[in-house]
Amino acid sequence: MKKVSFTPKTEINSIINGEYSTPSDILGQHKINDREAVIIRGFFPHSKEAWIIRAPKKAVKMTKIHRDGFYEAVFKNCDEYFPYHFRIKEGDRKYKEFKDPYNFTPILTDFDIHLLIEGTHYQSYEKMGAHYIEIEGTSGVHFAVWAPNAVRVSVIGNFNRWDGRIHPMNNRAGSGIWEIFIPGLQKDLIYKYEIKSQYNNTISIKSDPYAFFCEKPPKSASIVHNIDRYEWGDDTWMDARKNTNWLEKPVSIYEVHLGSWMRVPEESDRHLTYRELSEKLVQYIKNMGYTHIELLPITEHPLEESWGYQTIAYYAPTSRHGKPEDFMYFIDKCHQEGIGVIIDWVPAHFPRDAHGLAFFDGTHLYEHADPRKGEQKDWGTLIFNYSRNEVQNFLISNALFWLKKYHIDGLRMDAVASMLYLDYSRSPGEWIPNKYGGNENLEAINFVKKFNEVVHLNFPGTLTMAEESTAWAMVSRPTYVGGLGFSMKWNMGWMNDSLEFISKDPIHRKFHHNNLTFSLLYAFTENFILVLSHDEVVHGKRSIIDKMPGDYNQKFSNLRLFYGFMYGHPGKKLLFMGGEFGQWIEWQVNKSLDWHLLEYELHLKLQKYVRDLNLLYKSQPALYEIDFDTSGFEWIDFRDVNHSVISFIRKTKNPKDFLLFIYNFTPVPRFGYRIGVPEYRYYKEILNSDSEIYGGTNFGNMGGVMAESIPWQERPFSINIILPPLSVIIFKPVNP
């Protein structure tokens, strides 16, 4: 007997061939108005038979009208929709029952769609991606993804044999946003998107750009995961953060790559988990006196050697150390111990991996199509197209996501210079000028400003930091006065000049004195962070201690002196892991730091010295209260070039509370060295880097010295001191 179909053949073929952008128009339950009937259609490619289950004991067999598994069932004399689910037979004895994904109304509202297209849906992560939800008593997963140039987008996974024909998504009103609710899916489901492009009908398999959790590399699937279950215990920290002005607070940052800070050699050199790090690393940072930890990118990335800077999943912490709630526990533990958490954030570029953002819907969606704007040759990556509202929305939402969902305290934006300049690392003819003929990337500048405005508006007390290596003006000034809006900027100039100076043999330093003092000419033009980051201990640059000249003992003396200069100089502080105890070899991403070095006296004493610097830094307002204004700094003498000695004062808002710094950058002790001071007081020696407890020669001033009424260096009083070799001495005036 010939089968009679109520479904047009063209619609059947469009479903079977995966070419229909709104499958719910065909599949699911629909009224046949001219017949007062309801028709239910389903497509089950791996089935032998299918039924409609209206009640526990009421099954209606569906008619198979195409051999590939297209079914329909017509219910006559029925003019109202009714609840049902499917039962299908896949093998001789294998049956499955499930509710129809195409019998549910859309989840995204028209207002959601409007905001997403406009680029102002700053909580887009609540709507896009994969979310466990419940609709009218039915639990399942709602999926949503942006792919405007796709013919068809499907959710694929083990639950549907990775077959893109089974769960095609619905395109919302030509917006380019696709969604589907699939009932009955289990927790921690592995999935991807199969995208059929308008161009050449190419099919690509992509991870979810909004995935909250991913498989551990080298696997690359996304995982449906509920990140709202964790119960935070950091209310005290979060409440205080809102009213904290970090510009006038101590900020001493320990920069860390979680995968190589410490490993477990007894277990095949495995990574520490987030839970293990929350005990070992957090306690270490607390004991060392740091105020903050900064993590190299923790977002999921396929290649360990990229250090995390080639991100695939912007919304997922890497699964190398555990689940999202484990990372939340780590942050929570930091906050409970009084430690702020900053993460490196990479909105400048992304990798070309086939499962990532590159060529996402068969077109250059997230990146510029023109390689003169879309390719970052230095890193072999692609550059975001900041002119697209949806791309800006994706990135700004991501920034807010980490601050809200993970309680992150600051974002350090990586490679800002590469974003600001169209000709960054490009030869003539390899870049396109902006509409005014200049080399400024106007779209990227607009994005950076909007990012800072939205972050500071929504999360007061959080920090945004720029790794910006050029002389771009007002990076850390508010946007309303023409700045980029960052809280702070990395001081790359100080880092380059001071490392250049300190690496010289002391006998030659007098010829490079300008490298030591030049930074004070511009120190207050930005809110600077003095950085000795991971970039300075890789690619043949040698470790920080290995840059120091001299014999074994002199290297340590020079390093203590250098760190003392860093902590005395205006600006917040950042030191990469390993630098605090004198790691000899360059940082290697695939192995642990050389913690065994602490078995050696000078390494252990260097670690103590850095700890004492941090504790002193936090206890003395003169070291942090006026970091970004000339009123907090005063030279005493920067002219003693022949002796390579400099001296200055750091001040607080209280004119009676200040610190005196004297640096000797030669291995020659200076006896009877006179320094002009502003007040007749006793000057207590509160730190001497040449002390025996730090591995020095123990030259010093017996705890302090009294000022004399001898005018010196244009000041009414002076002190006569012993200046140890390769040392910094810090004096604090107290009443005689």
Query: Where does 500-602 show beta strands of DSSP type E?
Result: 528-532, 572-576
Compute the 3-state secondary structure of the chain and give helix, strand, coil in percent, each to the nearest 5.
30, 30, 45
Residues of 545-573 as b/e, b for ≥16 C-beta within 10 angstroms?
bbbbbeeeebbbbbbbbbbbbbbbbbbbb
Give the whole-angstrom CA distance, residue 642 versus residue 513: 9
Q: Which helix (H) or strand (E) holds 708?
A: none
Q: How far is CA 495 from CA 78, 349, 594, in A?
A: 78, 25, 24
CA distances to 88, 183, 252, 506, 567 from 661, in Å: 81, 68, 19, 19, 10
Q: Which helix (H) or strand (E) holds 660?
A: strand 658-664
**Structure-block tokens of residue 679:** 């007040």
| CA–CA distances in Å: residue 110 to residues 125, 395, 679 | 17, 22, 70
Q: Which of 580, 539, 595 is nearest to 307 (CA)?
A: 539
CA–CA separation, 567 vs 618, rounded Å?
A: 11
Answer positive or negative: Cα dihedral of 312, 318, 323, 325.
negative
CA 167 to each of CA 84, 102, 196, 638: distance values in angstroms, whole numbers, following the listed order: 18, 9, 13, 72
DSSP of 68-129: TTEEEEEESS--S----EEEEE-SSS-EEEE--GGGS--SS-HHHHHHHHHT--TTGGGTSE
β 292-295/252-256 pair status = parallel
Euclidean distance between CA atoms 448 and 429, whole angstroms: 26
- Which 3-state string (H, E, C) describes 146-192? ECCCEEEEEEEEHHHCCCCCCCECEECCCCCEEEEEEECCCCCCEEE
Omega within 30 of 0 (cis) for the link into 218: yes
In whole angstroms, give the CA distance from residue 21 to residue 166.
14
Active site members: 414, 467
Question: Letter for the amino acid at 664?
Answer: N
3-state secondary structure of 582: coil
Q: Are 483 and 474 in contact (CB under 8 A)?
A: yes
How many residues are present in the chain? 736
How far CA 76 is from CA of 9, 35, 39, 80, in Å, comes to: 21, 7, 9, 11
3-state secondary structure of 8: coil
Closest residue by Cα to residue 41 from 18, 75, 17, 80: 75
Q: DSSP 3-state assignment of 404?
A: helix
Cβ count within 10 A of residue 137 = 5
- H-only helix segments in 544-679: 544-547, 552-568, 601-619
Residue 480: alpha-carbon gap to chain centroid: 26
3-state secondary structure of 43: strand
**Distance from first CA to last CA of the chain, Å, rounded?**
113
Distances (CA, A) of 672 to 637, 669, 675: 16, 10, 10
